[in-house]
């Protein structure tokens, strides 16, 4: 199995650039899924999740990551979910 594949059946090519951030990113994914009402598969296989749902998750997470970066770049330390 290639190094960039997860062993849980997912063929994601996404790599976490900062390994220490993995837990935070997973928490963010779970919070996004809960907010949007999307069920995260326990086995990591997203084949039964619609493209619309996964796109919504990705968009929600990206929006929040951009907001966090903007806060950090502006010198602010407080993050508010938009």
Q: Is residue 28 part of a domain?
A: yes
Q: Is residue 3 part of a domain?
A: no
Other beta carbons within 10 angstroms of residue 13's beta carbon come to 8
**pTM of this structure:** 0.67
Q: Is residue 58 part of a domain?
A: yes
The answer on pLDDT for 9 being more than 80 is no
The answer on pLDDT for 77 being more than 80 is no
Burial zone of 69 (CB within 10 Å; 0-12 exposed, 13-18 middle, 19+ buried): exposed
Q: Is residue 37 part of a domain?
A: yes
Q: Is the distance from CB of 21 to CB of 28 less than 8 angstroms?
A: no
Q: Is residue 36 part of a domain?
A: yes
Q: Is residue 11 part of a domain?
A: no
Domain residues for 64?
Answer: 20-76
Q: Higher-confidence residue: 80 or 22? A: 22
Split into its structural domains, the chain has a count of: 1
- What is the C-alpha separation between 32 and 75, in angstroms, rounded? 25
- What is the C-alpha separation between 36 and 21, in angstroms, rounded? 22
Q: Is the distance from CB of 28 to CB of 35 less than 8 angstroms?
A: no
Q: Is residue 13 part of a domain?
A: no
Q: Is residue 62 part of a domain?
A: yes
């Amino acid at each position: 199995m290639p190094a960039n594949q997860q062993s849980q059946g997912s063929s994601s090519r996404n790599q976490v650039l900062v390994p220490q951030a993995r837990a935070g990113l997973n928490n963010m994914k779970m919070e996004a899924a809960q907010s949007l009402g999307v069920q995260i598969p326990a086995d990591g296989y997203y084949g039964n999740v619609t493209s619309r749902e996964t796109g919504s998750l990705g968009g929600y997470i990206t929006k929040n990551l951009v907001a966090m970066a903007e806060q950090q770049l502006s010198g602010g330390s407080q993050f508010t979910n938009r």
